[in-house]
């Protein structure tokens, strides 16, 4: 009797167990059976849902700022890693490299002298408006460069020396200077472009000047017009680089208003590239920041070399942007064709020379 009851109980339990196992959803079904939180967003599993959130998939928010619908923006991690990693490291090497190369050049070549000695007679090289444009551009660029480098490297270089409070005060002041002086730089850049673009178009003499390496290592000076090929390269680097840092700087100053990269990538895709064109506003900002910094650091390295050659590196050069008058022998050695042009005009009553007594 008892044995029959136990057998019946076991049979019922067996049926219940087998039945519940057969009816219960598998783990995979549990994720796909309509219970997934991201279902409405098109996710087909929990893991896919969270992966997409992790990769910045936007959800819906009821406030006007649609960007707040992005819960996690993982490109931010990549951007920070690039900015604080290779961008900062290569930038530091480029700046340090420029200084080391110039110091080595100075040690080997010394100061480039006026080969025939000063003539004691000067010739007008740059008018007041040209010097104004140069110093507006140069003065603002130097402040922008220093305050910009402080934003990139200040925390590593200055905080250990002056402490966080002084660093915060300096950086806040520097940030205002950086924002406002950018407009002075853009004005100087535009004025210099208008004044000098005509003198910076390629000319056949540039080829010869470059083939002779600008005469920088020997004592012979290849003929050059108002600007030699090296100066023309500098001019176009400053103009194109300056325009580029200006545009990306404006994009950083007025955030989320531009789509430079999406549009540029669409243009480049014409050449068969497969660059993404549907960048989010946040990705646009990150690319602007990386681009702004990379171009600016490159330009600073170039300008360090320019400042060297325009002051310490070459006797007689600074006067061109100081008083605007250069020694005639300096002019004949470095810009012989230009002197001939000026002398031809002078014969027609155009330009004037000054003796030191004037």
Choosing from 227, 261, 298, 338, the residue that interacts with ligand HEM (CB under 6 A) is 227
CB of 79 to ligand HEM, least distance (A): 27
CB of 184 to ligand HEM, least distance (A): 12
Residue written as token pair 């923006």: 73
CB of 230 to ligand HEM, least distance (A): 7
Kindly give the interhelix angle for 159-196 and 229-253, rounded to the nearest 10 degrees: 120
Q: Residue 251 or 301: which CB sits closer to ligand HEM?
A: 301
CA neighbours closer than 13 Å in the CB half-sphere of residue 190 = 7
Binding flag, residue 141, ligand HEM (CB under 6 A):
yes
Binding flag, residue 321, ligand HEM (CB under 6 A):
yes
CB of 187 to ligand HEM, least distance (A): 13
Binding flag, residue 224, ligand HEM (CB under 6 A):
no
How many residues line the site for ligand HEM (CB under 6 A)?
Answer: 21
- Contact letters for ligand HEM, residues 117-136 (x by CB under 6 A): --------x--------x--
- Tell me, letter by letter, the H, E, C secondary structure of 253-286: HCCCCCCHHHHHHHHHHHHCCCCCCCCCHHHHHH
CA neighbours closer than 13 Å in the CB half-sphere of residue 169 = 4
Binding flag, residue 306, ligand HEM (CB under 6 A):
yes
- Contact letters for ligand HEM, residues 169-208 (x by CB under 6 A): -----------------------x----------------
Dihedral pair phi/psi, residue 64, rounded to 5°: -60, -30
CB of 118 to ligand HEM, least distance (A): 15
Binding flag, residue 231, ligand HEM (CB under 6 A):
yes
CB of 182 to ligand HEM, least distance (A): 12
Q: Residue 134 or 292: which CB sits closer to ligand HEM?
A: 134
Burial-class residue 196 by CB neighbours within 10 Å (0-12, 13-18, 19+): buried
CB of 141 to ligand HEM, least distance (A): 4
Segment lying near ligand HEM (by CB under 6 A), choices 8-16, 48-56, 90-98, 302-310: 302-310
CB of 149 to ligand HEM, least distance (A): 14
- Determine contact, residues 334/116, Cβ cutoff 8 Å: no
Q: Measured between alpha carbons, how far is 355 from 18 in angstroms, rounded to an integer?
A: 113
Binding flag, residue 310, ligand HEM (CB under 6 A):
yes
Q: Residue 22 or 220: which CB sits closer to ligand HEM?
A: 220
Q: Measured between alpha carbons, how far is 309 from 140 in angstroms, rounded to an integer?
A: 20
Binding flag, residue 292, ligand HEM (CB under 6 A):
no
Q: 3-state class of 355 per DSSP?
A: coil
Q: Measured between alpha carbons, how far is 358 from 352 in angstroms, rounded to an integer?
A: 11
Q: Measured between alpha carbons, how far is 113 from 347 in angstroms, rounded to an integer?
A: 29
Burial-class residue 333 by CB neighbours within 10 Å (0-12, 13-18, 19+): buried
Residue nearest to ligand HEM (CB): 310
Binding flag, residue 307, ligand HEM (CB under 6 A):
yes
DSSP symbols for 181-246? HHHHHHHHHHHHHHHHGGGGS--HHHHHHHHTGGGSSSS------SS-HHHHHHHHHHHHHHHHHH
Structure tokens at 347: 């014969």
Choosing from 186, 245, 251, 317, the residue that interacts with ligand HEM (CB under 6 A) is 317
CB of 310 to ligand HEM, least distance (A): 3
C-beta neighbour count of 273 within 10 angstroms: 9
Q: Which residues bind ligand HEM (CB under 6 A)?
A: 125, 134, 137-138, 141-142, 192, 227, 231, 234-235, 238, 303, 306-307, 310-311, 317-318, 320-321
């Amino acid at each position: 009797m008892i044995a029959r009851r136990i057998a019946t109980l076991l049979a019922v339990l067996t049926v219940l167990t087998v039945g519940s196992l057969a009816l219960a959803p598998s783990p995979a079904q549990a994720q796909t059976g309509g219970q997934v939180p991201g279902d409405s967003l098109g996710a087909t599993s929990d893991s896919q849902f969270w992966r997409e959130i992790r990769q910045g998939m936007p959800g819906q928010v009821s406030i006007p700022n649609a960007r707040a619908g992005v819960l996690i923006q993982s490109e931010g991690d990549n951007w920070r890693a690039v900015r604080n990693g290779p961008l900062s490291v290569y930038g530091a090497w480029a700046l340090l490299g420029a200084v080391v190369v110039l110091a080595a050049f100075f040690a080997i070549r010394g100061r480039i002298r006026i080969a025939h000695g000063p003539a004691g007679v000067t010739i007008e090289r740059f008018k007041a408006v040209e010097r104004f444009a140069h110093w507006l551009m140069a003065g603002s660029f130097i402040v922008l460069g220093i305050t910009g480098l402080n934003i990139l490297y200040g925390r590593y270089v200055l905080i250990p020396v002056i402490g966080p409070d002084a660093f915060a005060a300096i950086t806040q002041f520097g940030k205002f200077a950086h924002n406002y002086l950018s407009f002075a730089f853009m004005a100087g850049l535009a004025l210099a472009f208008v004044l000098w673009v005509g003198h910076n178009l390629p000319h056949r003499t540039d080829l010869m000047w470059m083939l002779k390496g600008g005469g920088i290592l020997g004592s012979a000076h290849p003929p050059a017009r108002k600007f030699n090929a090296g100066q023309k390269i500098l001019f176009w680097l400053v103009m194109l680089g300056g325009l580029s840092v200006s545009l990306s700087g404006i994009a950083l100053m007025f955030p989320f208003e531009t789509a430079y990269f999406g549009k540029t990538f669409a243009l480049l895709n014409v050449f068969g590239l497969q660059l993404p064109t549907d960048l989010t506003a946040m990705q646009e900002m990150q690319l602007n920041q990386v681009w702004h910094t990379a171009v600016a650091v490159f330009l600073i390295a170039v300008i360090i070399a320019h400042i060297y050659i325009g002051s310490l590196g070459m006797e007689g050069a600074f006067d061109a942007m100081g008083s605007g008058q250069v020694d005639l022998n300096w002019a004949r050695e470095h810009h012989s064709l230009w002197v001939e042009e000026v002398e031809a005009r002078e014969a027609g009553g155009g330009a004037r020379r000054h003796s030191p007594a004037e």
